[in-house]
Structure 1
Amino acid sequence: MTPEQLRDSSLLELFSLEAEAQTQVLSAGLLALERDPTQADHLESCMRAAHSLKGAARIVGVDAGVSVAHVMEDCLVSAQEGHLYLRPEHIDALLQGTDLLMRIATPDNNPGPADIEAYVALMARLLDPLALAAPISTPIAPFMAEDLLQATGVELTMPVLDVEPPTGAPVEPASRARRSTDTGERVLRVTAERLNSLLDLSSKSLVETLRLKPHLATMQRLKRLQNNGLRALENLNVQLKEHALSLEAREALDAARRLLAESQQLLVEKNAELDEFAWQASQRAQVLYDTALACRMRPFADVLSGQARMVRDLGRSLGKQVRLEIEGEKTQVDRDVLEKLEAPLTHLLRNAVDHGIESPEQRLLAGKPAEGLIRLRASHQAGLLVLELSDDGNGVDLEKVRRSIIERQLSPAETAAQLSEEELLTFLFLPGFSLRDTVTEISGRGVGLDAVQHMVRQLRGAVVLEQAVGEGSHFHLEVPLTLSVVRSLVVEVGDEAYAFPLAHIERMCDLEPADIVQVEGRQHFWYEGRHVGLVAASQLLQRPVSAHSQQTLKVVVIREREAIYGVAVERFIGERTLVVLPLDERLGKVQDISAGALLDDGSVVLIVDVEDMLRSVDKLLNTGRLERIARQGSQVVEAARKRILVVDDSLTVRELQRKLLLNRGYDVAVAVDGMDGWNALRSEDFDLLITDIDMPRMDGIELVSLLRRDNRLQSLPVMVVSYKDREEDRRRGLDAGADYYLAKASFHDDALLDAVVELIGGARA
């Protein structure tokens, strides 16, 4: 082949596409052969893949590819003919040859001649029966798929060739590389930007067709009005027959009847045409959207390319036997979602191999098979992609988690000892939290499940961890199938429209005043055999309560795994299919809101971030700031209770003060430190502030100083309750602006309550 032909980019591109397809066949087949080296069908498929690559490399003149594929083919043919039994070292070498072939086919990442010669020599030694008599004990780390892994601190007595790509030229992950097609269909390349634009236009077209519905309803109403007008004119004609009318009046009446009948007939015809047009337009828009969306959808298998190999290689480097089983590879997912899932899935798989699966010796002692099993299942449920990733390892050592929480001073020992299993597992998702004592290349770098949770939340999804000691761990991930359109329930809160994604709605219901009960000082209602907490959307979304509230309460029941609450709204507007419009990045993360959209009439609606809203509800409950929802029809109107904000970083002191004041009849909210207290003061109204001095983030002195400089808050009474009992400490607090200073050393119930009464009087206004 001439140099001109070698420079033909189309031929090299075809070779690259074929190399990608055939190396995937080789990787899958070799992993199967590692479990059963005598499977004839996998031996045949691997041999044919190597043979095809050798022929393709010869055609385009890539001699390195010919050499590597040739020795791999010789090895596989020997195994087919029964002259060679494939051992783990053979599989390792064949997998390295697969990686080498992919590098050869990747532009700007070709291996040097020395690498090719070393690999050919390695395969020659492996095929020599005399060479296999003595083990080769050169501990060289194997090349991992996608250059993701490097063994550390583990010696492997296997013949391995270091074929790492040069620095700055990593192998492109297969899930991001160009896909070959073997369906015979013609392929047209379209940029991702144009595809996104097409989907955006088709989404808007789908929503625009919905705007025809109100016009059609108006036309139907106009037809009814005109029909009523025609009947009224007929009745008038009957009444006038008893009176003598002039010829001109009779002709005018007949002309009016005729014109009205003609216009009604025309209106009926056009109304039918509009109805047919609206139906066809909606159908075509739906087909257009579905087709555009299908262009973006990819099988879930695209994100799995190389994962089975990665699990196998990582297990080998750690001296473990691990197998990955995958279900639902053909599940269709939006390409953007798919790309963003690759990193968290890779991390969870690595985590399962490193943390979950035990060594073969430990597994045998526990009565388990020596080979560990990781299962990954993908499916569609209620418009979501649901991923289930589980392993049959040892689970999470909860006592080790508890000790780590105490050592990192994340919780006092007394509190940590009372944490439930679910509460302990939530600490694993905190930034920098790790159970590793030493840093390795595989784990222990402080980037753990918090990164997984962050990436999943960016997809508007959620991840939950469950485990059973000695039986393994189970991760449940839910993410949208697509990020462009969401089906939602639109409601009205504070005279504005908000949308709740249907995927997070349990049900909608109307509550009568008698249905709302008080349980432990909070409002609940009975739902499916349990009391469900009731909160006001107006408080969560910081909207004014509507003056037109009705006696019947409209409630949206939202759920996220085990967390469930009823959110009271003013009105149900209805179900809508909304095109998601991302918020301006300059706004940052807007609390309880994920995105925006446009309704049929062009008005703006904000899409609720249900997971964020549930966290807001929990925070309101924990700080005691949850407001009661006024129940219409009640004959007793209670006088407003005075509100007190207690700011203290000590849970014991905080709760003691809260209960004392609640029992005396005050309405009490709490804050865990100065910053939390400052945020509460700016967003709500209080009659008194009780604060500690020494607190994280913002101390009490700084909090009081900020308060006194604020025009709205500067007249608010302030009481300081502190362990510091020296005169200079007392003077410092009073100089900052406190009205009363009470030392905790001399603290008792009556002293606090008497001081509160002295400052703001009794509990009722």
Structure 2
Amino acid sequence: MSGQSINPVMLELFRTELESHTRALGEGLLQLEENPAASAPLEGLMRAAHSIKGAARIVDITPAVRLAHAMEDVFVTAQQGRRAPAAAHIDALLRATDLVRGIAAHADDPAWLQQQEAAIDAIVQSLGGEAAAATDPPTGAQPTAPVTPGSAASGGAAQAADAAPDANLEPAMLELFRGEAGAQLAMLMDGLLQLESAPGDSVAHEQLMRAAHSLKGAARMVGIDTGVRLAHAMEDIFVAAQQGGLEPSPEAIDVLLQSTDMLQRLSQSPDIGDWCRQHAGEVDRLGGLLADVLAGREVQPPAPTAPSTEPTQPAAGSGATHAADSAIRVSSESLNRLMGLAGEVQVEARWLRPFADGLQHIKQYQSELIGLLDRLRDYMDSPRVDDFGRNLFNDALRRAGDCRHLLSDRLGELEEYDRRTHNLAGRLSREVVASRMRPFADGVHGFQRMVRDISRALGKQVRLDIRGLETRVDRDILEKIEAPLNHLLRNALDHGIETPEARAAAGKPEQARLRLEAIHSAGMLSIIVEDDGRGMDLELLRQKVVDKQLVSAEMAKDLSESELMEFIFLPGFSTRSEVTEISGRGVGLDVVHSVVQEMHGLVNAVSHPGRGMRFHMQLPLTLSVMRSLLVEIAGEPYAVPLAQINRTLKLDRGQIQVLEGRQYFTLGNHHIGLVAANQLLGLPEGPPDEDEACIVVLGERLDRYGFVVDRFLGERTLVVNPLDQRLGKLKDIAACSILEDGRPCLILDVDDLLRSADLVIAGGRLDRIEQARSHQAVKTGKRILVVDDSITVREVERNMLANIGYQVEVAVDGMDGWNAVRMGDYDLVISDIDMPRMNGFEFVSQIKQDPNLKHTPVMIVSYKDRDEDRTRGLEVGADYYLTKGSFQDATLIDAVQDLIGEP
């Protein structure tokens, strides 16, 4: 390398380019090793090496030029058909690739480059010898004997490759090794578990051999002799199995898994050199066991220790299967800020609407002005007005017409810009949410191993079937659900699944099936843990409930199965009398319930005695965006997490009953206590304007209340913004958000609300909710706006409603209807869906988001009869959905009268 310093900008460009080329080299070399006769990888390898050489020469990094040039010569030679690289030379090429990557990382550190000169010279000489040998291939060459872990050749190779074994490891190279080791160890773990269930799986053999080989090369590159020894011994076993000369027994799989664990502990140790010295005896023991496995001798690995009660941590880089997608590191704080900014963009995009509304008013005033000028025209024809006055009038009339056309054009452009900005802000918000999502596989990688170890320790045969590995899950949720899933799986292994003998006696397969599945369903994340074990003994559970004095014996007899199952989630509740290392402490299911509740989700359990147990968790798709029900309390909007709502309903106030001074209503077979939401929040009472009370039922199991709110404002998807930490914990408030019209909205803390309701009721301070009240006379002459682009439909609906006394006006499309509804005062709007300029969904959404129009009832009448269209219509705020193909005169009239009463 020249003595001149490298331009920082050029160095960053070089590093960026090198990243893709070294990745191509690594992948191509593995393909070439798998199929030496293949010509396709050689072209890509030659181009990648050539590009690295050129880029390194531009920035004057001579060591990288030397390595890339030597690699290129090897690939050109192989491409010309003279000699394919042998397995040993593949190792050298992989080491060269790693070293080029290290040179790029330390190109601005001359001291580091000087330390690597010997290694660079050795690799260049090795690759040069390979290229030279290609020009004059030896005749009659004999194949070399395979190298075994215990052979002299093996030991010599290891020693030659590691000048300073397990010591003086360079930090940057060590980090590269840890990243590589994490990915390869994850593949080893998965492959060994697959091999145990399907011993003849050739794909697993191939995967295991490649992973061990790559791990060996990575350890050799950074001088970790212990890692080289173990990985090389494992590789030899996999090669022998791949060639059909060895079939690993379950005991051999145990040895290989213990070796994998040892390598993982080694790679994650903060001081690898010190770790290797302290664990030299364990490594030697495992090396001897691996040699016995390779030789076909029977091995007896040490008995596994009791499985840890902590969740198994996945190896670093367990997302290696998703490495095809390029990724960068972004802190969670940055993502949260980006999410907040995306929400602000959505709010700011809505500020264009008031300007458009103001222009609409100006346009209306201008139309009135032109009307006045038209009336003035008759006066201008009077003989008393001279020519000068007439000319002034005509000029004013012409200019007013020009202004009208100009205003109409600009207004249309502004509305189009507003629509595009709103759509762009929505897309930005969705992309930010998507950036927080990770595959479900990233959070469950260690469960296969955990289930295997625990089931073997318990003497059971269990196969874990994980489905939905590609299901996208919010990264925060993925971290939080690890502990609940760990408890549920352990609970199934210890409590639910029987021994092979017991299963055989019950007519079941000796191997039990345990299923873990993640799916998106109804806008929620559903996670299911299900086993085919013995299930829950409901009578034993019923007796335990009585023994713990949770309910009386008489009440316990009347508890349904679902009500009984709710008790297993209580703190300290367990049906087991003994405590084991696996479970039985009575805390597992309480943890599940607490964590799920913290994420605003629900969990329930269903037992099929003799056939198994099923746990179902329903969670929000993300904790950054929340699907909520918007309600109005004391004139202000509040949000309630949709996942925590038991039910919503409008209750006739005459159905409110009183018992011992407390108000309640009956829902099914249960009495639900009523609490005024404004009282809990310390807000003034708003006078009820309807004969029906709007009620949100919150809580679950035996602790449910109906919270009375002023009115329902519809469902919304809100960006969750945490409250300023300086405020501390606000009573009954969880977070805040910004509505699309810019208004702030507080998100209610459901758990706090339930606790507040308990306190208010216990203190006898419960406000009384107004019950039945006199009906007010319905005003006559109700006005209806019909919006449809079909003149036939418009006239049919207009005549139908006008004939029974309603005042009906029409609009020709969504934009015309939007302009009309803002200028008029309508009791009901009836809209089609498919219309030009603004469709019905957008039209209804605009109405429901306008603070002055949001209480106007809206009915959608459309030919579309699909469930998704009906659901979307109701989601944007429509109060009624009717299909044109099915309604008769009476159907439409009945629907209108249901919404606004008679004319």
2:537 to 386, 394, 397: 397
Query: What amino acid is the match of 1:381?
Result: S
- Structure 1 residues 207, 385: closer, same or farther in 2, change over 3 A? farther
| Superposition pairs of residues 456-535 of structure 1, within 5 angstroms | 456-502=596-642
Give the deviation of 1:517 after TM superposition: 7.8
Identify the residue that residue 106 of structure 1 maps to in structure 2.
Answer: 268
For 1:375 and 1:266, how far apart are their aligned partners in 2? Answer: 66
Change (3 A) 1:568 1:437: closer
Alpha-carbon offset, residue 362 of structure 1: 1.6
Secondary structure of the corresponding residue to residue 347 of structure 2: helix
Which residue of 2 is the match for residue 551 of structure 1? 690
Shift of 1:504: 6.1
Distance in 2 (CA, whole Å) between partners of 1:568 and 1:620 is 15
Provide the residue aligned with 2:329 in structure 1.
189
Cα distance change of structure 1 residues 489 and 269 upon mapping to structure 2, 3 Å threshold: farther
- What are the within-5 Å matches in structure 2 for residues 73-152 of structure 1? 73-108=235-270, 110=272, 111=275, 112-131=279-298, 136=300, 138-141=302-305
Aligned residue for 1:24? Answer: 186
Contact 1:536 1:629 in 2 (8 A): no
> For 2:652 and 2:338, how far apart are their aligned partners in 1?
47
The answer to whether the 8 Å contact 1:200/1:484 transfers is no
Counterpart AA for 1:125 = D
Q: After the TM superposition, which of the residue ranges 300-309 and 247-256 deviates more from structure 2?
A: 247-256
| Residue in structure 1 matched with residue 568 of structure 2 by the alignment | 428
Query: Which gives a bigger RCO, structure 1 or 2 (Cα 8 Å, sep 6+)?
Result: 1
The equivalences for 1:101-500 within 5 A come to 101-108=263-270, 110=272, 111=275, 112-131=279-298, 136=300, 138-141=302-305, 173-174=313-314, 179-180=319-320, 183=323, 186-242=326-382, 244-246=384-386, 249-500=389-640
CA distance in 1, matches of 2:315, 2:341: 27
SS of the residue corresponding to residue 290 of structure 1 reads helix
SS at match of 2:488: helix
- Distance in 1, matches of 2:589 and 2:666, equals 36
Amino acid across the alignment from 1:141: T
The CA distance in 2 between the partners of 1:243 and 1:489, in whole Å, is 69
Deviation at 1:606, TM superposition (A): 2.1
Q: Verify the 8 A CA contact 1:535 1:629 in the aligned structure 2.
A: no
**CA contact under 8 A between 2:652 and 2:693: conserved in structure 1?**
no
User: Contact between 2:699 and 2:705, CA under 8 Å: does it hold in 1?
Assistant: no
Query: Does residue 632 of the first structure (1) align with residue 776 of the second (2)?
Result: no
How much has 1:12 moved relative to structure 2?
Answer: 2.7
Task: Provide the rounded CA distance (Å) in 1 between the counterparts of 2:635 and 2:656.
Answer: 27
Which residue of structure 2 lines up, in the alignment, with residue 57 of structure 1? 219
| Distance (whole Å) between structure 1 residues aligned to residue 487 and residue 589 of structure 2 | 8
Could you list the per-position Cα deviations for residues 142-199 of structure 1 after superposition, in whole angstroms to 9, with x for gaps in the alignment?
7x6xx6569xxxxxxxxxxxxxxxxxxxx9x327757547655554333222222222
Shift of 1:286: 2.2
**Residue 311 (structure 1) shift:** 1.1
Report the Cα offset of residue 242 of structure 1. Answer: 4.6
| 1:578 and 2:718 matched | yes
Q: Secondary structure at the match of 2:544?
A: helix
Q: Partners of 1:244 and 1:511 in 2: how far apart?
A: 71
Please give the secondary structure, in 1, of the residue aligned with 2:487. Answer: helix
Letter in 1 for 2:692: L
Q: Secondary structure at the match of 2:244?
A: coil
Contact 1:324 1:373 (C-alpha < 8 Å) held by counterparts:
yes
Query: Kindly tell me: are residues 86 and 381 of structure 1, through their superposed partners in 2, closer, same or farther at Cα, counting changes over 3 Å?
Result: same
* Conserved 8 A contact 2:525-2:619: yes
Question: After the TM superposition, which residues 604-683 of structure 1 pair with which residues of structure 2 at under 5 Å, given as runs?
Answer: 604-609=744-749, 627-633=768-774
Whether contact under 8 Å (2:656, 2:771) holds in the other structure is no
- Match of 2:470, as an amino acid? K
Does the 8 Å CA contact 2:735/2:746 hold for their aligned counterparts?
Answer: yes
Which amino acid in the other structure matches residue 124 of structure 1? A
Q: Distance in 1 between matches of 2:393 and 2:652?
A: 55
* Matched-pair contact (CA < 8 Å) for 1:434–1:448: no
Paired residues of 2:347 and 2:742 also in contact (CA < 8 A)? no
CA distance in 1, matches of 2:383, 2:580: 106
Which segment is superposed worse, 422-431 or 179-188?
A: 179-188
Q: 1:241 to 1:357 in 2, by over 3 A?
A: farther
Aligned residue number for residue 726 of structure 1: none
State the Cα distance separating 1:627 from its structure 2 match.
4.8
Q: Tell whether the 8 Å contact from 1:554 to 1:572 is kept in structure 2 after alignment.
A: no
Q: In the TM superposition, what is the alpha-carbon distance from 1:300 to its structure 2 partner?
A: 0.9
2:268 is paired with a residue of what secondary structure?
A: coil
Q: Over aligned residues, Cα RMSD in angstroms? A: 3.9
3-state SS of 1:389 partner: strand
Deviation at 1:306, TM superposition (A): 0.9
Given that 1:558 and 1:610 are in contact with CA atoms closer than 8 Å, whether structure 2 keeps it comes out as no
Matched residue, 1:67: 229
Q: Distance in 1 between matches of 2:622 and 2:591?
A: 21
Greater alpha carbon shift after TM alignment, 458-467 vs 198-207: 198-207
Q: Is the 8 A contact 1:331 1:380 kept in 2?
A: yes
Give the SS at the match of 1:305: coil
Amino acid at match of 1:193: E
TM-score (norm 1): 0.70
Distance 2:605 2:763 in 1: 26
**Residue 442 to residue 506, structure 1, CA distance change in 2 (3 Å):** closer
Offset of residue 126 of structure 1: 3.4
Contact 2:254 2:301 in 1 (8 A): no
**Preserved contact between residue 468 and residue 518 of structure 2 (Cα < 8 Å):** yes
**Structure 1 residues 466, 542: CA separation in 2 closer, same or farther (over 3 Å shift)?**
farther
- Aligned mates of 1:444, 1:43 — CA distance in 2: 39
The change in CA–CA distance for 1:513 and 1:260 in structure 2 (over 3 A counts) is farther
Asked if 1:599 corresponds to 2:761, the answer is: no
Deviation at 1:68, TM superposition (A): 0.9
Query: CA distance change for structure 1 residues 358 and 210 in 2, over 3 Å: closer, same or farther?
Result: farther
2:514–2:530 CA contact under 8 A, matched in 1? yes
Matched residue of 1:428: which SS? helix
Counterparts in 2 of 1:409 and 1:511: CA distance versus 1, 3 Å: closer
CA contact (8 A) 1:553 1:568 kept: no
Contact 1:378–1:387 under 8 Å retained in 2: yes
Letter in 2 for 1:70: H
Counterpart of 1:22 in structure 2: which amino acid?
Answer: Q
Within 2, Cα distance between the matches of 1:31 and 1:556? 52
Question: Normalization by structure 2: what TM-score?
Answer: 0.60
Residue of structure 1 equivalent to 2:151: none
Counterpart contact for 2:350–2:741, Cα < 8 Å:
no
> d(CA) in 2 for partners of 1:225 and 1:511?
45
Residues 488 and 232 (structure 1), Cα distance of their counterparts in 2 relative to 1, 3 Å cut: farther
> What letter corresponds to residue 481 of structure 1 in structure 2?
L
Residues 18, 180 of structure 1: 8 Å contact kept: no
